[in-house]
Amino acid sequence: MTFTVDAAAYDRFMGRYSVPLAPRLADFAAIAAGQRVLDVGCGPGALTAELVKRLGADAVSAVDPSEPFVAAAQQRYPGASVQRATAEQLPFADDSFDAALAQLVVHFMADPVAGLREMARVTRTHGVVAACVWDHAGGQGPLGVFWSAARELGSSVEDESQLAGAREGHLGQLLREAGLHRVEETVLSVDVEHPTFDEWWEPFTLGVGPAGAHVAGLDATRQAQLRERCRELLPPAPFVVTARAWAARGHT
Ligand SMILES: C[S@@+](CC[C@H](N)C(=O)[O-])C[C@H]1O[C@@H](n2cnc3c(N)ncnc32)[C@H](O)[C@@H]1O
């Protein structure tokens, strides 16, 4: 999955959920001052911001394959090192970091085990590799209502439920396959309040990620049907979306 949208669109669509998720993943990975940490698939920098806050920009490196996201993260965190790269081919020497984290990225990797193995390679012995992916399979991620409405209205919907790490236990399995030790799993959860239905819906029309691509592929009538079905399935505004992510951490 390529993300060639601008950072502001990403912020409105997914950043609203990934910003509050970041401190939860950083806590789970026990990120604390004095460490050097790598943010893999940083996007415009939801987790990067949390790492800079905890460690100082000098101690933070980040990579992402998306040009606009790398440009945005470089601009937002000038003291951090942000480069264009994929998880599967990290441009760092062995043992460069105390920890390597991937927030909402494993399910987009071309080869998740290779990506996690690379994260382990650049992490020092006994360091931490941690990742999280929304519970798309259980419908408990932030896009659960959207994909449920989309499936009702169309037979050939490719939702995100089959992707790597999106079902219970799968992230842990992938970490073990990548050679990590003492793997532990948990659920991370965020609550995000939406003041109006339109504030919730409009970012789906910005073309971000698989959901944005799905909307962009519908004609105006089908888009309107999907929008209305979502409105029926959601509680009246204001409403809170509780989004759950599977998380796993392991040691090198
Ligand atoms: C849902 S966004 C998550 C961004 C950010 N970590 C956050 O929490 O907001 C997924 C990110 O993974 C990146 N990505 C896709 N394939 C990747 C790969 N093979 N290696 C590293 N990052 C990848 C995308 O460019 C995108 O920025």
**Is the pLDDT confidence value at 241 over 90?**
yes
- Cα 69 to Cα 122: distance, rounded to the nearest angstrom: 22
Instruction: Give the whole-angstrom CA distance, residue 120 versus residue 137.
Output: 26
> What is the signed CA dihedral for 13, 18, 20, 23, rounded to 10 degrees?
-170
| Token code pair at residue 148 | 């449920």
How far is it, in rounded angstroms, from Cα 147 to Cα 151? 6
Protein residue closest via CA to atom 26 of ligand 1: 43
- Three-state SS at 159: coil
Whose structure tokens read 């037979």?
155
Q: Is the CB of 47 under 6 A from ligand 1?
A: yes
- Residue 4 pLDDT greater than 90, yes or no: no
Beta carbon of 14 within 6 Å of any ligand 1 atom: yes
pLDDT in tens, 138-190: 999 999 999 999 999 986 788 889 999 999 999 999 999 999 999 999 999 99
Q: What is the pLDDT of residue 219?
A: 94
* Number of C-beta neighbours around residue 229 at 10 A: 17
Between the CA of 21 and the centroid of ligand 1 the distance, in Å, is: 14
Mean pLDDT, residues 227-243 taken together: 97
Ligand 1 centroid–CA 108 distance in Å is 7
Q: CB of 122 closer than 6 A to ligand 1?
A: no
Q: For residue 45, what are its two tokens?
A: 């920098």
Question: 190-216 pLDDT, tens per residue?
Answer: 999 999 999 999 999 999 999 999 999
What would the pLDDT profile of 19-77 be if each residue is shown by its tens digit?
A: 999 999 999 999 999 999 999 999 999 999 999 999 999 999 999 999 999 999 999 99
Ligand 1 atom index nearest CA of 15: 9
Express each pLDDT in 93-128 by its tens digit. Answer: 999 999 999 999 999 999 999 999 999 999 999 999
Residue 11 Cα to ligand 1 midpoint, Å, equals 13
Is the peptide bond between 238 and the residue preceding it cis, with omega within 30 degrees of 0? yes
